[in-house]
Amino acid sequence: MPKTSQQDLLQRFQPIFYPKSIAVVGVSQNTLKVGSSWFKAIIDMGFTGPLYPVNPHGGKLLGYRVYPNLRSIPGDVDYVVVSIPRDNVPALLDDAAAKGVKAVHFFTAGFSESSDAYGAELEKKLVEKARQGGFRVVGVNCLGAYSVEGGLPYGPVGRKGKLGSVSFVTQSGGIGEKLTELGTARGLYFNKGISFGNGIDLDGPDYLEYLAVDPKTEIIGAYFEGTRNGDRLAEIITKAARAKPVVVWKAGRTDIGAAAARSHTGSLAASPAVWSTLIKQAGAIEVHNIEDLSDALLIFQMLQRPQNKPQGNGIAVIGGMADGGGGISVSASDACADARLNIPQLTKETRDKLIDIIGHVGSILRNPVDVSQTGSNPDRIRQAAQAVLDDPNIDLLLVQQDIGVFLRYFPFEVARTVNNIFIDLKNKQHKPLVLVLPPGTHEAERVQLEQDLARAYIPVFPSMERAARAIKSFTQYWQRRSSTGD
């Protein structure tokens, strides 16, 4: 894409993700109502530009003057959030055109996703008015734009979160809410996001095209229920995946799911096989649920730095931190095999080192490696992990550390010492580390250790199966990029 075209694209979306001023239409004195909650959420995000609450009855809200309509606002308005009944929308758009608004986001629903013909006709009228008025429509029927840096919350109860490099585009506002909730809890840091709902003006491919050139976005997540233009979506996903990792979850893969998608956002859904082919040929990563979407985004964020990109696909697994690791080794092998990961044998030199460190009896030293015979001695665990990382057949180390089991035998400080070993190893060599910390009986302590690892940019997963699928996404993406020379 030519540089001028990129600049035009960035400029076009500036009022949506970085508005200079915002109006919220549909506020009331009841701060629990959606419009007022949205207005407060924008304040809580720290938005620094002019803010205008709008309600025909006027008054004051949270110390701000309430204006009766958009035309009465004294200053310019970039972005408008709308939460009013659908019958009042056409008149609002006339006001938006007269005011010179740049973008209007409709939380309001009841358009083509509904079963009545009136909703579909009203939707067409909205598009016509937007074209005539020279502004863009976000939605309808959506949570709209989210921008940590731009001061836009994700929805009326959105939280700011730590600024990061992950952005997302989603047809469903609820999926975006769950993604931000799961991600924030696990150290996934967002830059921006968009819930586009019916996408009557700007659709999914438009936002993807923008995120592909956005310099502040390094990883893109996407949730689709369908599309109005399959050829354009395929073209844009391909361009985006050449620039940065793109993780796509296509829902509505069953007949029942497709019917639900039509009633949710009015989408037309192609067959699952068509979508899978589109995503694969585009070079993007396909996932099938919210957990795998958040897992894939997490591993790319944590391991995105150039020194962490795997040179090959050899995975080593270490288990048995506190008790017998034989069962863990077998189940880990199955999980990795199901994900079609490469678990190579360690070299004889590495196995000899492990025998010296761990001993021969009661241990599995080929790969996966059972370190239970170390007696959970931190120094011996460090030596064993270092020996495995030094093996030329290994490109990534996957460690299972069951905190609930560990704390049955040892105090928390020993668990933290072992945890810090992996943080130190990650900082002192280039091969990526991934940890599995299954939930259990000591959840508060487990979360504390997970947060320590997240701050060190080590991805943590709740099960070996989820870790294996995320590693597969990560390694396959970079292998594909290497093979195509992108």
Asked if residue 230 and residue 314 are part of one domain, the reply reads no
What band does 238 get if pLDDT is binned at 50, 70 and 90?
very high
Residue range of the domain that includes 188: 3-299
Asked if residue 353 and residue 234 are part of one domain, the reply reads no
Percent above pLDDT 90 for the chain: 71
Packing angle between helix 378-390 and helix 412-428, nearest 10 degrees?
30
Asked if residue 399 and residue 255 are part of one domain, the reply reads no
Which of 253, 269, 299 is at the close of a domain? Answer: 299
pLDDT at 83 over 90: yes
Q: Looking at the 3D structure of the chain, how many domains does it have?
A: 2
pTM: 0.92
pLDDT at 362: 53
Asked if residue 327 and residue 443 are part of one domain, the reply reads yes
Which of 253, 277, 299 is at the close of a domain? Answer: 299
Asked if residue 199 and residue 141 are part of one domain, the reply reads yes
Which of 268, 299, 330 is at the close of a domain? Answer: 299
pLDDT at 269 over 70: no
Percent above pLDDT 70 for the chain: 91
Asked if residue 53 and residue 185 are part of one domain, the reply reads yes
Asked if residue 104 and residue 231 are part of one domain, the reply reads yes
What band does 126 get if pLDDT is binned at 50, 70 and 90?
very high
Asked if residue 380 and residue 240 are part of one domain, the reply reads no
pLDDT at 262 over 50: no
Asked if residue 328 and residue 465 are part of one domain, the reply reads yes
Asked if residue 424 and residue 355 are part of one domain, the reply reads yes
Lowest mean pLDDT among 40-54, 362-376, 386-400: 362-376
Residue 360 maps to which CATH number? 3.40.50.261
What band does 248 get if pLDDT is binned at 50, 70 and 90?
very high
Q: What is the pLDDT of residues 403-458, one digit of tens each?
A: 998 999 999 999 999 999 999 999 999 999 999 999 999 999 999 999 999 999 99
pLDDT at 53: 98
- Burial of residue 379 (CB within 10 Å: 0-12, 13-18, 19+) is exposed
pLDDT at 320: 85
Q: What is the mean pLDDT of the chain?
A: 90
pLDDT at 119: 87
Nearest CA-CA partner of 122 in 162, 158, 157, 87: 87
Asked if residue 141 and residue 252 are part of one domain, the reply reads yes
Asked if residue 349 and residue 286 are part of one domain, the reply reads no
Nearest CA-CA partner of 165 in 216, 114, 108, 123: 216
pLDDT at 105 over 80: yes
